[in-house]
Structure 1
């Protein structure tokens, strides 16, 4: 395995869109996804790279996944939290330690004090996986008010 991480490039668009579509077809509890949202995310990354980043996962020069990372300041934690908005590994590359490798790489970033992610409570396999990697459920409950996008 020769895993590399790099930032999204415009040439990745079609494959990135395909992977996002796959993620949302597997995760039926999430919000509906469409190409307009994907394009908005790409544009936000270009406009504010200090806030949003798309990372492409590569193995032997082949794209095998992606992650969308969002930085935000937390007074409670006293620094930047890196929110892993999405992490997707293609099905034929799963169960090979790629997710753990990716999380280990980003955990070493020196401009963050914590990593945060979310998982559907119905997906016990994913919850167990992230727990084994050191993530824990915190006492707060996340609430969101959708403006109807």
Structure 2
């Protein structure tokens, strides 16, 4: 498995992978193409807040991941949010999710906390994350989205 940062040439690939992610059991709502394009633009311009990666296996695109970063007083440092992790159906069962998590944990070993969300119905992802020591928080999340107002 190879993990590489996205490049400007990856726009169509990133859009395709994002649509795949948002069409599955990992999300609660469909893809928003405007959001996907804005996120891509933010990542390729070198933003400190967002990074996207392409996951490859034997030279073929196998999936992608999207990170965002925040500061947390509670954890005492920088927090990595694993926003999206998608392994394409043809590559599932090859332990790429495990390999990616190993890579992420090594690459970001100095981070104070890693957070993520998982849909209740996404049992495979939940099992993967629990194997890496992730625990369910007792917090309930509230959100305010500009587009809803």
TM-score surpassing 0.5? yes
Structure 1 length normalisation: TM-score?
A: 0.89
Q: Which is bigger in relative contact order (C-alpha 8 A, separation at least 6)?
A: 2
Structure 2 length normalisation: TM-score?
A: 0.89
Q: Cα deviations across residues 11-69 of structure 1 (Å, max 9, x unaligned)?
A: 22222211111111113752331321111001112345321000111112111110000
Q: Cα deviations across residues 81-135 of structure 1 (Å, max 9, x unaligned)?
A: 1101000011111121111111111112244112111111132332233212211
2:76 to 75, 78, 99: 78
Query: Within 2, Cα distance between the matches of 1:28 and 1:132?
Result: 18
Query: Within 2, Cα distance between the matches of 1:65 and 1:28?
Result: 14
Partner of 1:22: 20
Show structure 2 runs of 5+ residues with no match. none
Partner of 1:145: 144
| Corresponding residue pairs, total | 147
* Secondary structure at the counterpart of residue 44 of structure 1: helix
Query: Within 2, Cα distance between the matches of 1:111 and 1:41?
Result: 25
Contact 2:21 2:27 in 1 (8 A): no
Contact 1:82 1:112 in 2 (8 A): yes
Contact 1:23 1:88 in 2 (8 A): yes
Partner of 1:6: 4
* Secondary structure at the counterpart of residue 26 of structure 1: coil
Bigger Cα displacement from structure 2, 22-31 vs 58-67: 22-31
Show structure 1 runs of 5+ residues with no match. none
* Secondary structure at the counterpart of residue 146 of structure 2: coil
* Secondary structure at the counterpart of residue 122 of structure 1: coil
Partner of 2:128: 129
Contact 1:107 1:115 in 2 (8 A): no
1:56 to 42, 50, 54: 54
Shift of 1:10: 2.0
